[in-house]
C-alpha cells in the first residue's frame, strides 16, 4: 500500500503544471473538465490548497453564459487533435465549446467535508458555489429547453464515454460529409484497437464543425444538433452534483442556491424513471432526436445508483444488475455488458473498466447499503493497479492495461480507494 500510495503521488506530481493537472503526457496535454475535478480528490490527500486550486482554475475559464468547457487549452501542444484552431471558440485562453460530466458539485463537497483546514475550505467552497450553480442553470436552460427535468448531450465526447454503444445509432445519423482531411494524434500515442474508429472520429469532427458554424451560441445548439441523447449516467452525475451543491449551500448559508439545486435534483430524479428499460433491467439512454430509448446495456445505465434516493425501489434491482454484469467479467465494472455481442474488451468505452466509473458505482452501492460489494470493487481496482500499473483503463477479462499510462485520474482513484 505504501508503494502504491507513493507511486500515485509521484504521478500526480509529474502531471501537475502548477494550477492544473494534465490527464497524461502526450495523449492529453491540457486541462480536461471532469478529469480535473476527480483528480482534485487525489490532490486533497497531498495538498488541500492545491486541490481547491485545480477546480478554481477550471472555473476561471467558465463562460459568461455559465458553460464550463471540456478542455482548457492553457498552453500550446502539437500532440493533441482537435486543438484550439479546430474549435475556434475565440476565448482569450482557448477552450473547447462542448462540456463534460458535471462532477464538480460531487467533488467539491468531498473536498469541503474532508478538509482539515476548515476555515480555508469554507471560504473557497463558498466562492465556487455560485459558479457551479450557474453551470447547472446553463444545463437546464440550454440542454433541457422543454423542462423535462433531464438534459441532453450534443456530442459523444460530452458523455465522457466517447465511443459507447449508446451513441451508435444516433451517431450513424450524423452525416460525415464535408468533414475534410485531418490527422488524428490519439492513435500515435495508443494502439488504434483501443481507441474510437475513423468512422466515429469523422462524425465527432462533423458535429464540432456544425456547432462552430453556429458561433458556439449555446442557446441555438440543442435545436440545431442532429445528435441529442439523454444519458442516464450523465444525468445521474448532474443530479448528484445538484444534491451535493444543495448540501454545501445549506451548510454555508446560501439559501437561494440550496433551494434551486434541490429543485433541480428533485426534477431530475422524478424524470429519471422515464429512462428505465424493462427489457435490459437497467436504465438506458433516450435518443431525443429519434424519440426512443436506446437498446444498449452500458455502464451509463448503472450510474443512477449514484443519484437515487436511499430506499428507492430501483436501487436494489440496480445493485443486483451490477452484480450480474460484473459476474460476466474477471474485473469489475465492465463499461458494457459482456453478454452483448458488441462488447469489445479493448476498445475504450465499449467494454474496458475505468476506475473513475468504479468510484461512482461503489459510492452508489455504499449509499444503498451494499458496503461489501463497494469494498470489493475498490480492492480489485487497487490490486489491478498494483500488478498492471496506472493505466487509463483496463481489459475487464484479463486485467491488461490499456490506453494512456501514468494516468492522473487512475492515480487519484488509487488514493481514494486506499482508505
- What are the residue numbers of the active site? 162, 392
When asked if residue 73 is in the footprint of ligand DGY (CB under 6 A), the reply is: no
Omega of the bond prior to 333 within 30 degrees of 0, cis? yes
The least CB distance from residue 48 to ligand DGY, in Å, is: 28
Q: Which of 166, 186, 243, 344 binds ligand DGY (CB under 6 A)?
A: 186
- Helices 371-388, 355-367: axis angle to 10 degrees equals 160
Q: Which of residues 253-272 bind ligand DGY (CB under 6 A)?
A: none
Q: Which CB sits closer to ligand DGY, 72 or 246?
A: 72
> DSSP of 401-415, one letter per residue?
EESSSS-HHHHHHHH
Q: Is residue 157 at the binding interface for ligand DGY, with CB under 6 A as the rule?
A: yes
Q: Give dist(CA 97, CA 259) in Å, integer.
A: 29
What binding mask, one character per residue, do residues 98-137 give for ligand DGY by CB under 6 A, x or -?
----------------------------------------
- How many residues form the binding site for ligand DGY (CB under 6 A)? 4
Nearer to ligand DGY, 157 or 394 (CB): 157
Residue 166 interacts with ligand DGY (CB under 6 A)? no
Minimum separation from the CB atom of position 76 to ligand DGY (A): 17
Q: How far is the CB of 272 from ligand DGY (least distance, A)?
A: 25
Express the helix, strand and coil content of the chain in percent, nearest 5 each. 55, 5, 40
Burial of 247 per CB tally in 10 Å (0-12, 13-18, 19+): middle
In this complex, which beta carbon is closest to ligand DGY, that of residue 162 or of residue 231?
162
Question: Least separation, in Å, of the C-beta of 58 and ligand DGY?
Answer: 14
- Give the end-to-end CA distance of the chain in Å, rounded to a whole number: 10
Cβ-based burial of 164 (10 A; exposed 0-12, middle 13-18, buried ≥19): buried
70 touches ligand DGY (CB under 6 A): yes
Nearest CB to ligand DGY, comparing residues 70 and 277: 70
Determine, following the binding rule CB under 6 A, whether residue 161 of this chain makes contact with ligand DGY.
Answer: no
Nine-digit cell string for 321: 444488475
> Does 30 engage in binding with ligand DGY (CB under 6 A)?
no
Q: How far apart are CA 176 and CA 227, in angstroms?
A: 13
The residue within the footprint of ligand DGY, chosen from 16, 35, 48, 162 (CB under 6 A), is 162
Q: Residue 21 Cβ, how far from ligand DGY at the closest point, in Å? A: 15
What three-state secondary structure class fits 167?
helix
Interface with ligand DGY, residue 54, by CB under 6 A: no
Residue 21, helix vs strand vs coil:
strand
Per CB under 6 A, does 240 bind ligand DGY? no
What is the rounded CA–CA span in Å between residue 231 and residue 326?
21
- Our CB check for ligand DGY shows the closer of 87 and 106 to be 87
Residue number, 204 or 394, with CB nearest to ligand DGY? 204
DSSP structure string for 386-397:
HHH-S-SEE-TT
Question: What CA–CA distance (Å, rounded) separates 222 from 144?
Answer: 8
CB 71 to ligand DGY: min, Å: 6
User: 32 in helix, strand or coil?
Assistant: strand
Residue 158's SS3 state is helix
**What SS3 state is found at 282?**
strand
* 350 is a contact residue toward ligand DGY (CB under 6 A): no
308 Cβ contact list (under 8 Å, min separation 6): 269, 272, 314, 315, 318, 364, 368
Q: Shortest approach of ligand DGY to residue 162 CB, angstroms? A: 5
- Residue (157 or 354) nearer to ligand DGY, CB: 157
For ligand DGY, the binding residues (CB under 6 A) are 70, 157, 162, 186
Amino acid at each position: 500500500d505504501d508503494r502504491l500510495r507513493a507511486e500515485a503521488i509521484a504521478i500526480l506530481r509529474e502531471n501537475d503544471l502548477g494550477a492544473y493537472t494534465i490527464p497524461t503526457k502526450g495523449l492529453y496535454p491540457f486541462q480536461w473538465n471532469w478529469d480535473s475535478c476527480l483528480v482534485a480528490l487525489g490532490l486533497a490527500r497531498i495538498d488541500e490548497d492545491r486541490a481547491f486550486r485545480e477546480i478554481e482554475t477550471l472555473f476561471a475559464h467558465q463562460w459568461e453564459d455559465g458553460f464550463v468547457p471540456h478542455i482548457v487549452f492553457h498552453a500550446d501542444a502539437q500532440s493533441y487533435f482537435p486543438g484550439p484552431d479546430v474549435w475556434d471558440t475565440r476565448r482569450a485562453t482557448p477552450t473547447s465549446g462542448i462540456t463534460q460530466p458535471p462532477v464538480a458539485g460531487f467533488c467539491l463537497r468531498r473536498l469541503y467535508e474532508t478538509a482539515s483546514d476548515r476555515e480555508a475550505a469554507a471560504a473557497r467552497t463558498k466562492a465556487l458555489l455560485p459558479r457551479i450553480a450557474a453551470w447547472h442553470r446553463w444545463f437546464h436552460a440550454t440542454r433541457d429547453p422543454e423542462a423535462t427535468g433531464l438534459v441532453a448531450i450534443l456530442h459523444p465526447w460530452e458523455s465522457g464515454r466517447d465511443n459507447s454503444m449508446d451513441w451508435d445509432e444516433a451517431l450513424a445519423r450524423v452525416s460525415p460529409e464535408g468533414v475534410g482531411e485531418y490527422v488524428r494524434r490519439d492513435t500515435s500515442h495508443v494502439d488504434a484497437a483501443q481507441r474510437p474508429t475513423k468512422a466515429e472520429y469523422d462524425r465527432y469532427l462533423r458535429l464540432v464543425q456544425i456547432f462552430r458554424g453556429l458561433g458556439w451560441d449555446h442557446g441555438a445548439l440543442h435545436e440545431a444538433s442532429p445528435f441529442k441523447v439523454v444519458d442516464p449516467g450523465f444525468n445521474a452525475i448532474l443530479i448528484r452534483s445538484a444534491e451535493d451543491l444543495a448540501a454545501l449551500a445549506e451548510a454555508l448559508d446560501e439559501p437561494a442556491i440550496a433551494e434551486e439545486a434541490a429543485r433541480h435534483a428533485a426534477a431530475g430524479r422524478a424524470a429519471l424513471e422515464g429512462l428505465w428499460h424493462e427489457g435490459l433491467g437497467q436504465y438506458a439512454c433516450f435518443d431525443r432526436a429519434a424519440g426512443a430509448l436506446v437498446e444498449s446495456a452500458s455502464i451509463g445505465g448503472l450510474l443512477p445508483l449514484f443519484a437515487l434516493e436511499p430506499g428507492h425501489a430501483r436501487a436494489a434491482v440496480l445493485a443486483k444488475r451490477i452484480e450480474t454484469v460484473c459476474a460476466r467479467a474477471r474485473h469489475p465494472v465492465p463499461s458494457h455488458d459482456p453478454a452483448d455481442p458488441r462488447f469489445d474488451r479493448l476498445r475504450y468505452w465499449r467494454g474496458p473498466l475505468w476506475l473513475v466509473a468504479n468510484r461512482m458505482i461503489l459510492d452508489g452501492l455504499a449509499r444503498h447499503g451494499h458496503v461489501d460489494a463497494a469494498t470489493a470493487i475498490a480492492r480489485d481496482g487497487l490490486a489491478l493497479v498494483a500488478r498492471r500499473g496506472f493505466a487509463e483503463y483496463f481489459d475487464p477479462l484479463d486485467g491488461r492495461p490499456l490506453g494512456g499510462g501514468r494516468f492522473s485520474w487512475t492515480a487519484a482513484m488509487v488514493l481514494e480507494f486506499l482508505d
